[in-house]
Amino acid sequence: MQKVAVKKLDKRAKLPTYGSDAAAGADLYALCDGEISIAAGETAMIHTGIAMEIPEGYAGLVYARSGLASKRGLAPANKVGVIDADYRGEIMVALHNHSGATQTVADGERIAQLVVAPFLHVDFAEADELSDTARGAGGFGSTGK
């Protein structure tokens, strides 16, 4: 298992944890003084109190926690946050309230999940033509019935 260095920026911060041995995402925890209220349709920046050293060639992908999103309407505003390998600042979650009621986030609450995943850094080359495929230029819904 690969080690990822995590620095606590506040002694109260919690390191990410996996909910099970087979979990892809590690839970990120809110760090706040008291509760944070997020009005319907609003977004709040939630501190985690941690910074980390994502290995080169990997990215930290911040996703919604399915229960928090489906039961309370709270999910990252940017849908998927991307933490680059050269970023060393605090990990923050822009939590958006999609519900019709004010929601609160408590200190120590699990607010998002982090997946550390490899990626390809590619050289984008302009081309006059692209190779043919069966799908071609068919877009949104073109492969469904």
Domain architecture of the chain: domains with CATH: 5-118 (2.70.40.10)
Instruction: Give the pLDDT mean for 66-70.
Output: 94
By the 10 Å C-beta count (0-12 exposed, 13-18 middle, 19+ buried), 5 is classed as: exposed
pLDDT computed for residue 140 by the predictor: 79
Higher per-residue confidence, 67 vs 138: 67
Q: Is the pLDDT of residue 134 over 90?
A: no
| DSSP secondary structure string for all residues of 80-130 | SEEE-TT--S--EEEEEE-SSS-EEEETT-EEEEEEEEE---------S--
- pLDDT-based confidence at 141, cuts 50/70/90? confident
Instruction: Give the pLDDT mean for 42-61.
Output: 98
* CB distance 134 to 98 below 8 Å: no
d(CA 83, CA 62): 8
pLDDT computed for residue 145 by the predictor: 63
Q: The pTM is what?
A: 0.90
